[in-house]
Amino acid sequence: MPGRKIAVTGIALVVTILGCGNPRVSWLKPYYDNSFARFQPTDREKAKQSSLKREYPHPYDNVFDGTLLILQQYAIIGNASRETGSISYVDIDAILIKDNFWNYEFPFTVYLESTRRGTMVYVHPMGPLFDGKADDKSAIEEKSPEIIRSGYKQKGEEFLERLSVQLTTTNRWPWLTGK
């Protein structure tokens, strides 16, 4: 029955289109609505417990400036303080996880701390998944928290690597970066 085939195909198309276009409300929506005015960084001690961290053999100010320069290219910076060393941002780049292409918002707090050998950078994923409020179903992918967790890890590592390249490049080949 061609009519039946067409009807089934039509229904499938409608479901596909509606399914793809159905907007998922982000838990970050209130922050978008108020221009990130209350988008506060994570507590320092908590952020320092993050496994995403790296020490760079560069002065604090260079690392702070490099961090902003990297983040402005692909993230929304909510606030930044040179005094406290905190920068909070939302990474809205797309991400490839296990052969799936995800478009997601990954909020992070970065903390910088001077050390004897240079500067330590801590990257702390923000959000209910990491704040012990995983019962907030609107905040995370209900069925795939592990994928989201690995996404945060990948994005955090990506940032640390980009910062490393930025600092190394600026330091070794300043003419390449217009310095």
69 scored as a contact of other proteins (CB under 8 A): yes
- Measured CA to CA, the distance from residue 122 to residue 162 in angstroms comes to 14
65 scored as a contact of other proteins (CB under 8 A): yes
Region 101-130 residues binding other proteins, contact defined as CB under 8 A: 101, 103-105
C-beta closer to other proteins: residue 78 or 156: 78
Q: Give the one residue of 30, 35, 51, 145 binding other proteins; rule: CB under 8 A.
A: 35
Q: Give the one residue of 46, 60, 62, 79 binding other proteins; rule: CB under 8 A.
A: 79
Cβ–Cβ under 8 Å, residues 109 and 96: no
134 scored as a contact of other proteins (CB under 8 A): no
- Spatial strand order in the sheet of 106-114: 53-56, 119-125, 106-114, 86-91, 75-81
Q: Give the one residue of 22, 94, 116, 175 binding other proteins; rule: CB under 8 A.
A: 94
- Measured CA to CA, the distance from residue 129 to residue 134 in angstroms comes to 5
- Measured CA to CA, the distance from residue 93 to residue 79 in angstroms comes to 19
